[in-house]
Amino acid sequence: MVRTEVESTPLIERIDESTYAAIRADAGAALQAFTTTDGRIEAPFSCLLAMGRRTHSSSGE
């Protein structure tokens, strides 16, 4: 989870390996209570979901 977030942003180019290792270690400690024995994260995330639908009129607008 943390690797995906860090590596998919420009942050990965701005930090050195020791900083990245510290981020992973701190995140691992923070997520420990939600980590299963096989390494999955099962946390009570809250999110908002917005959905929409585009309709087409017969006039093409």
Q: How confident is the model at residue 59 (pLDDT cuts 50, 70, 90)?
A: low
pTM equals 0.63
Between residues 7 and 56, the one the model is more confident about: 7
Q: Do residues 6 and 19 lie in contact, with contact meaning Cβ atoms separated by under 8 Å?
A: no
| pLDDT tens digits, 34-50 | 999 998 989 888 889 89
Distance CA 6, CA 9 (A): 6
Q: Do residues 23 and 6 lie in contact, with contact meaning Cβ atoms separated by under 8 Å?
A: yes
